Amino acid sequence: MSTGGLVGGSPPRVGGIGRVTGSQAYVADIRLEDQLHVKLVALDVARARIVSIDSSAALAVPGVRLVLTAADLPDPMPRFGPQWQDRPVLAIGETHYHGEPVAAIAADTLDAAEEAARLVHVEFEELPAVFTVARALAPDAPLVQDPSLRPGDPLATTNVLREHHYGWGDIDSVAADAEVVVEGTYAFPMVTQFAIEPHAFIAAPDGDGIAIWSSIQHPSWLQRVIAGLLGLPLAKVRVFAPDPGGGFGGKQHAKYEPLVAFMALRAGRPCRLVLTLEETFQAVRRGACEVHVRTGFRRDGKLAFRDIEASYLIGAYADIADRTVGKGSYTAGGPYNTPAVRILARSVLSHTVPSTAFRGFGNPQQIWAVESNMDEAARVLGIDPVQLRLRNVAARGDDFLPGDTLADGQWAETIQKAAEMIGWGSPVPAGRGRGIAVGLKSGPTTGLSYSTVRLLADGSVVVSAGTSDMGQGARTIFAQIAAQELGAPVDWVTVVMGDTAVVPYDQQTSASRSSVLMGNAVLNACRDVQAKIRVMAARLEGVDEAGIVVDKGEVRIGERIWPLRDVLVRGLGRLGGEVIGIGEMRKEADPDHPLGGTAAFYEFNCTAVELSVDRDTGDITIHRHVTVSDVGRALNPMQVRGQDEGAAVMGLGHTLMEHYILDETGRIRNLGAIDYRIPTSMDLPVEIESAIVENGDGPGPYGAKGMSEGALLCVAPAVAAAVRDATGVSIRDLPLTPERVWRALQETPSK
């Protein structure tokens, strides 16, 4: 382990001491004077018409201060959402998914709020719900959204929120070149983020404005949402965003912050809502997906065309789901040079929990299908699966995705490294199978991050950055950059985040962007400080600025070298003070691009596994799991490893065990930790090995690319390929539960 604080070392996590001592204050740990506790009221049905709500018994509970229903909110009902403003603060007229709140209680104690929630009498009429793609697209399907929410949209009278069409080349004309065509339909289930910290929200009147505490990934965005809903200037909305206890995309966008804001203003007191784990299942999930892939190859394995049709089952409100559909599908052709690609992706509304961002952002569903299809094709073609990828993968600089960023890595190197680590080509131990797959994901397409870096009089540093550190370690990375550039020990750097009144704007914490975009903003702020130090040194030494170099904590004039801190102390003089640097990093939008902008970088990963299947039970044992990511440059190798191995294990969750189970009316039957399983310490591969490819070819500081999602992208197709290798059985539906594997084995003659 390296203990160096500089970039490329692995100093202890900034904020780590709070995390191991219990002093780290997450939102639920914050207690405000005079606070009220909020409890949601929801119906145990997927869809219902609300006939009436009687709050009288609830209001009679001692300590209850407020029972809020749609009738108590402004008319028309305030709605919000990052793509469409379609989500009401509380359900009005009709509920659209299992768990959608119809009322909320605020009381002096949580006990009182819970008791009152049970006493709210809601008269309702259950309505038929649609919760599969087929049902939602049926001509007689009930509409999930009122067409008036999307005026002028010809799709508004269907359950298709949006269709995305991408591609290049002419499939029909190159079809003749395809000597082998392989096709299949692949399904990916609804899964949930399951951050161990359930979402928590507090709102409090704050003078002539409001303060919000939320475990949110995008504090600046939330500030805008709340200001818009309440008609307040941005400066009167103060968002505190304590480090989330895991986000994984599920904490990107507003959920119940608007509700607690309205309640706090009405009650005149702070209102606090901490979701139960079950309620988080009814607040966030990943879009389920059905993908049909048809791929044409030449006999030598070269791709001729790829034709993809995907239907993502999103929920009752758009949230950011349609963006996951578009962005995840845009790169669905994979990291290959393909003469012709046609992609159709639909966002299908349904009476289910609104799906949202979740690590991988729409890509894992497509990659599950396309990479499974590649593995099946390798078998049909009689070409080794590694060779098939190497024959088609783009080289750096290839225009593999016309109109977008050129291939920005030596991706073949990543594939070869993973193959080598798993021992590809060597005899497979008896009873086992090996599988390999690759994953590509477009990084952020736009971005705007600001940072201030203050070099204090003693040489210590305060970095302000609006990123949320939800475990990925952004604080540590920013501290390392400042330490590197300004010559301070890393433990002399404080990184301030999570307060919009104090910290400058950051667009968002998503798409594995922060090391690259905010990282560059911090770097630029450090460079601004260096420029001011140069001015100082020129004044002190009476020389021209042009001859002064400030670099890595040193000031050089010709042969003479001073520690930066000495120049600082002398330059500041008797009054002391500080040097303030401002940094900005933009990733400009491109209005003509289908996604609104090109990829800032690509995440690329290759995963290879070796496993065995118990033929009597269908249980899969993963003996080895190798994950290799192209990270450009590892700014902190220990954190890179944590992110890669964590993503790999999270990927094993949706591969092997995770899925929502709905009943015949659309209610979720496995809410909570007992009936919905995520990987525990007993579910891990026997060996997990992560490695990185570093060619310094990223746009981030020192050549870094974004990382943190890559190692999740292709876990499922790698595992399914290994199951195919071990048993000869192709399974095209996730998760690969023992029951599903066992049934597939029964239906197929043994290998």
Minimum gap (Å) between residue 671 Cβ and another protein: 11
132 or 494: CB nearest another protein: 494
Count Cβ atoms below 10 Å from residue 344 Cβ, excluding itself: 16
**CA gap 86, 94 in Å, rounded:** 14
Q: Which residues in 481-510 contact another protein (CB under 8 A)?
A: none
Half-sphere exposure of 359 (CA within 13 A, CB side): 29
The string of DSSP codes covering 310-369 is EEEE--SS-TTHHHHHHHHHHTTT-SB--SEEEEEEEEE--SSPPP---TTTTHHHHHHH
As a whole number of angstroms, the distance between CA 75 and CA 92 comes to 11
Binding mask 115-154 for another protein (x = CB under 8 A): x---------------------------------------
Q: How far is the CB of 195 from another protein (least distance, A)?
A: 6
Indicate which single residue of 86, 94, 100, 197 sits in contact with another protein (rule: CB under 8 A): 197
Residue 477 CA to residue 6 CA, distance in Å, equals 9
Whether omega for the bond prior to residue 62 falls within 30 degrees of 0, making it cis, is: no
Query: Per-residue x/- mask for another protein, residues 12 to 41, rule CB under 8 A?
Result: xx-xxxxxxxxxxxx-xx-x----------
Does the annotation count 163 as an active-site position? Answer: no
Angstrom distances, CA of residue 240 to CA of 73, 366, 400, 577, 656? 24, 36, 42, 28, 37
Q: Among 81, 189, 198, 435, which residue sits at the site for another protein (rule: CB under 8 A)? A: 198
Contact string (CB under 8 A) for another protein, positions 452-471, x = contact: ------------------xx
441 burial level (CB within 10 Å; 0-12, 13-18, 19+):
buried
Quick check: 312 and 365 in contact, CB under 8 A? Answer: yes
Q: Shortest gap between Cβ of 275 and another protein (angstroms)?
A: 10
In angstroms, what is the minimal distance from the CB of 16 to another protein?
5
Contacts to another protein from residues 621-650, by CB under 8 A: 638-639, 641-642, 645-650
Catalytic residue among 100, 197, 257, 709: 709
- Minimum Å gap between C-beta 681 and another protein is 5
- Interaction of residue 279 with another protein, rule CB under 8 A: no
Residue 276 binds another protein (CB under 8 A): yes
Instruction: Tell me if residue 31 falls in helix, strand or coil.
Output: coil
Assess whether the previous peptide bond of 12 is cis (omega < 30° from 0): no
Bridge pairing between strands 447-456 and 461-465: antiparallel
Tell whether residue 243 is a contact of another protein (CB under 8 A).
Answer: yes
Is residue 274 a contact point for another protein (CB under 8 A)? yes
Dihedral in degrees, nearest 10, Cα atoms 622, 619, 286, 24: -60
Pattern 651-690, another protein, x by CB under 8 A = ---------------------xxx---xxxxx-x---x--
Amino acid identity, position 171: I
Q: CA neighbours within 13 Å on the CB side: how many for 162?
A: 17
Q: Does 248 contact another protein by CB under 8 A?
A: yes
Give least dist CB 261 to another protein, A. Answer: 23
Q: Which of 36, 46, 58, 61 forms a contact with another protein (CB under 8 A)?
A: 61
When the beta carbons of 17 and 561 are compared against another protein, the nearer one is: 17
Instruction: Print the binding letters for residues 506-545 with another protein: x by CB under 8 A, - otherwise.
Output: ----------------------------------------
Burial of 259 (0-12, 13-18, 19+ CB in 10 A): buried
Residue 238 bridge partners (DSSP): 211
- List residues binding another protein (CB under 8 A): 1, 10, 12-13, 15-26, 28-29, 31, 61-63, 109, 111-112, 115, 193-198, 243-248, 274, 276-277, 470-473, 638-639, 641-642, 645-650, 672-674, 678-682, 684, 688
List residues with catalytic annotation: 709
